[in-house]
Structure 1
Amino acid sequence: MERVYAYWRIDWSRGCLRDARLATIPVPDATNLAGADLTGANLTWAYLGGANLTNANLDSADLTDADLTDADLTGANLTGANLTEAYLGRANLTGANLTDATLTAATLTAATLTGATLTGATLTGANLTGANLTGANLTEAYLGADLTEDYLGGALTEVYLGGANLTGANLTNANLGGATLTGATLTGANLDSADLTGAIE
């Protein structure tokens, strides 16, 4: 029998949930976690679709397989967070800090990452189709393939990287077909076997 959850709108803004274990808990749409401290929280498989996480502190949080579709993560701190296979379709990550975050096989379709910091982030196999990374910092980020598992690189088709900083980024085998790279900085970037078919420079 499918479990049914009934919720009212919850307001946890500015709450302290450090190291909380919220794994598999479905959080209702419109939940307010703005400015909440979720440092090190276990949010694996959590449903946070449409949640307000603006300026939330998710430093080192585990969001493996979490559903953050349409969530507002503007200005959120996701330093070192684990977002492996997380769903971030249409999520707003404007100005978010994703330094050293793991986004392996994450879905970021049509997500907004304008001005986001992805320094040292791992995006192996991530789907960024239609994502907007205008002015994002991807210095030392890894967006390529894990050849040890014969795994193809991330889907970056038609992604907007105008003005993005990709200094030293590893884009080995990445699919950048139709991507907009106008004004992007690619100094020292590794584009070995990358597909740039139709890319706009």
Structure 2
Amino acid sequence: MNWNQIVERYTAGDRDFHGMNFAEAKLGRAELADADLSGSDLSRAALGRANLRHANLSGANLHGADLCHADLRDADLRGADLRGAILLRADLTGANLENADLRWASLTEASPLDMDLSGAHLDRTILPKGCCSNE
């Protein structure tokens, strides 16, 4: 499925993209709020400035993804693989990162308000100043 088909489906009201392969996709500025991307492969995807607010990304592979300036407010990232992901200035307010793998990820200047990092793997993770409750 190409990007135009995804946009068409989303515009038509479809939010179910569960388990799909978006590896290395160019999805910058994508409008995917409320989408179900659980279990999807988004490894090395370019998702800068994407709207992923309230998206279900549980169990998704976001290894090495570019999520700079992405809107991840209230997103479900439980168990997601975010190893090496770049979340520079991403809005993670209310995001659930429980049991997520954030090793080698960069959350520089990300907004950590109300982020749930319970059980998250944080080895070599660059966290925002003032973060976090489980340090």
What TM-score does the superposition give when structure 2 sets the normalisation length? 0.92
Give 1:200 deviation, angstroms: 3.1
2:46 is matched with: 82
Partner of residue 4, structure 2: 22
Residue of structure 1 equivalent to 2:113: 157
Percent identity (aligned)? 38
Which residue of 2 is the match for residue 170 of structure 1? Answer: 126
**Is structure 2 residue 102 aligned with structure 1 residue 102?**
no
When Rg is computed on C-alpha atoms for both structures, the one with the higher figure is 1
Distance 2:33 2:123 in 1: 29
Q: Residues 63 and 195 (structure 1 numbering): CA distance in 2 closer, same or farther, change over 3 Å? A: same
TM-fit CA distance, 1:23: 8.8
Q: Distance in 2 between matches of 1:25 and 1:53?
A: 11
Are 2:114 and 1:132 aligned? no
Runs of 4+ in structure 1 off by over 2 angstroms are 23-27
CA distance in 2, matches of 1:53, 1:108: 17
Per residue, is there more helix in 1 or in 2?
Answer: 2
Which residue, out of 82, 105, 112, partners 2:76? 112
| Corresponding residue for residue 195 of structure 1 | 130
Give the CA deviation at 1:62: 0.8
Aligned residue identity for 1:160: D
Aligned partner (choices 81, 106, 110) of residue 142 of structure 1: 106
Go from structure 1 to structure 2 and tell me whether the alpha carbon gap of 1:21 and 1:55 turns closer, same or farther (over 3 Å shift): closer
TM-score under structure 1 normalisation? 0.63
How far does residue 138 in structure 1 lie from its aligned partner after superposition?
0.4
Alignment correspondent of 2:30:
66
Number of matched pairs: 132
User: What is the distance in 2 between the residues matched to 1:135 and 1:73?
Assistant: 17
Relative contact order, higher structure (CA 8 A, sep 6+):
2
Letter matched to residue 97 of structure 1: N
How far residue 195 of structure 1 moved from its aligned partner, in angstroms, is 1.3
Whichever residue aligns with residue 195 of structure 1, its letter is: G
Question: CA 1:71 to 1:21, structure 2 compared with 1: closer, same or farther past 3 Å?
Answer: closer
Q: Secondary structure at the match of 1:22?
A: helix
